[in-house]
Amino acid sequence: MSLEPTYVTRPALPPIEEYISEIRDIWSARMLTNAGPKHQQLSSSLSEYLGVPRASLFANGHLALECAIQALGVTGEVITTPFTFASTTHAIVRSGATPVFCDIDPDSCVIDAEKVESLITERTSAIVPVHVYGNLCDVDRLQQIADKYDLRLIFDAAHAFGVSRDGVGVGNFGDVSMFSFHATKVFNTIEGGALTYQSADFERPFTSWRQFGQVGGENAESVGTNAKMNEFAAAMGICNLRYVDQSIELRRRLSERYQSNLAGIDGLTFNRPQAGVHSNYSYFPVFFDADTFGRTRDEVALALAHQDVYARRYFHPLTSEFAAYKGRFAVSETPVAAVVAERVLTLPLYADLPMAEVDRICDIILKTSGQST
């Protein structure tokens, strides 16, 4: 047994000397925040890395998402998924709009694009899908629907840093995409986030929103908030960006080991790889069908916890089931999401997770099932 517990993820840290070297510049420049030199450098490096024309940085991904929703004037109803992190649904509700939950596709866990159109009413103003686990939504179909009904299309790409399809970065789809750079994500700035977008028209409202509506003066042109990324966070991003490709490659190897160790087990399934999609291997979700696997997802999670392995149920409960929304939404409207939420367990995955730990975790799962040979 390993000496330390294994959690679902572990923050990536650059060599400390590299961070200190970046921090020294901050001491010299005496600019700690407000779009200083580190912020500007990271913003352009990220646009390049993500292959997008424009990126605006934020204090965190959640505020970036609220900014996209509010600055684009989204009101009324927003079609979205309940199979996501709290942030997606909260951002819609906190912006004064009403989430309308669409069911998900069981193979990729993203919004089922074929079910979106039937949920559109004259109050619908936007679609907010999530690239869950870095799996790409059906971006073409969603764009078609958005165009047909003149809806905003805002992607929650918090899980999808570095994902591309046929060489096109995921941040190029829809009107706007939000990335999270939280400590636990594939790429981190401690806390941080970004919006990427094609239209130059969004740059000013986004900049304004994150700094009290004040762009270049004491007057305020909009009722903005404070959501600026500070220089220390940007410095961490500059360092971490140097290692992100290597980190995704390590994640790939670990994911493939999980796949081969757990292949062919009755009642245990994975998400399917998507054609043409370069994945970032941000999570390793497995799905337990208790009837055939022989144990429930929660029994497996408990067996792992007994061996000091802390897998997580991303995403259970559905956001539509949150106590905060009691009585407002019916889980029965998204039956596929309801089943997936009961079956999913995301296994530990981070760049420096030892391969031997993956093997040990798989052994525990196999023993639990009673299917090990």
Q: Number of residues in contact with ligand PLP, rule: CB under 6 A?
A: 14
318's CB contacts (< 8 A; 6+ apart) are 82, 83, 101, 331, 334, 337, 338, 341
Nearer to ligand PLP, 29 or 324 (CB): 324
Tell me, what DSSP letter sits at residue 2?
A: -
H/E element holding 283?
A: none
Smallest gap from Cβ 263 to ligand PLP, in A, equals: 27
Which of 260, 323, 264 lies closest to 292 in space, CA to CA? 264
**Smallest distance from the beta carbon of 97 to ligand PLP, in angstroms?**
16
Locate tokens 């052994």: which residue? 363
Q: Is 193 in the site for ligand PLP (CB under 6 A)?
A: yes
**Considering beta carbons, is residue 182 or 343 the nearer one to ligand PLP?**
182
Of positions 38, 90, 152, 159, contacts ligand PLP by CB under 6 A: 159
| CB contact set of 306 (below 8 Å; sequence gap of 6+) | none
The residue from 33, 56, 60, 368 that contacts ligand PLP (CB under 6 A) is: 60
Helix, strand, or coil (residue 18): helix
The nearer residue to ligand PLP, 6 or 9, going by C-beta atoms, is 9
User: What distance in Å separates the CA atoms of residue 291 and residue 239, rounded to the nearest whole number?
Assistant: 47
Options 54, 62, 90, 295; binder of ligand PLP; rule CB under 6 A: 62
Q: Which 72-101 residues touch ligand PLP, going by CB under 6 A?
A: 84-85, 87-88
**Nearest distance in Å: CB 364, ligand PLP:** 26
Pairwise CA distance, residues 193 & 10, whole Å: 18
Residue with Cβ nearer ligand PLP (138 or 362):
138
Q: Judged by CB, which is closer to ligand PLP: 313, or 360?
A: 313
Minimal CB distance residue for ligand PLP: 61
Spatial CB neighbours of 128, under 8 Å, sequence gap ≥ 6: 69, 78, 79, 80, 88, 91, 92, 154, 155, 156
Cβ–Cβ under 8 Å, residues 229 and 59: yes
Q: Which stretch binds ligand PLP (CB under 6 A): 56-64, 97-105, 118-126, 291-299?
A: 56-64
Q: Out of 38, 39, 182, 297, which residue is the one contacting ligand PLP (CB under 6 A)?
A: 182
CA 328 to chain centre: 25
Give the residue with the Cβ less far from ligand PLP, 158 or 365: 158
Task: Tell me whether residue 179 or residue 293 sits nearer to ligand PLP (CB atom).
Answer: 179
Q: Does 240 help bind ligand PLP (rule: CB under 6 A)? A: no
3-state secondary structure of 372: coil
Euclidean distance between CA atoms 238 and 303, whole angstroms: 39
Helix (H) or strand (E) segment spanning residue 241: helix 231-241
322/262 Cα distance (integer angstroms) = 32
Binding segment for ligand PLP among 15-23, 151-159, 168-176, 348-356 (CB under 6 A)?
Answer: 151-159
Tokens of 19: 């961070």
Provide the 8-state DSSP code for 125: E
Burial environment of residue 267 by CB neighbours within 10 A (0 to 12, 13 to 18, 19 or more): middle
Binding to ligand PLP in span 213-232, by CB under 6 A? none
- State the nearest-atom distance from the C-beta of 101 to ligand PLP, in Å: 15
Q: Is 154 in the site for ligand PLP (CB under 6 A)?
A: no
Q: In angstroms, rounded to a whole number, what is the distance separating the alpha carbons of residues 341 and 335?
A: 10
Binding segment toward ligand PLP, per CB under 6 A, in 24-32, 154-162, 228-236, 238-246:
154-162
Is 180 among the residues that bind ligand PLP (CB under 6 A)?
yes
Query: How near is the Cβ of 193 to ligand PLP at its closest, in Å?
Result: 5
Q: What residues between 120 and 139 interact with ligand PLP by CB under 6 A?
A: 130
61 touching ligand PLP, by CB under 6 A: yes
Binding residues for ligand PLP, rule: CB under 6 A, are 60-62, 84-85, 87-88, 130, 156, 158-159, 180, 182, 193
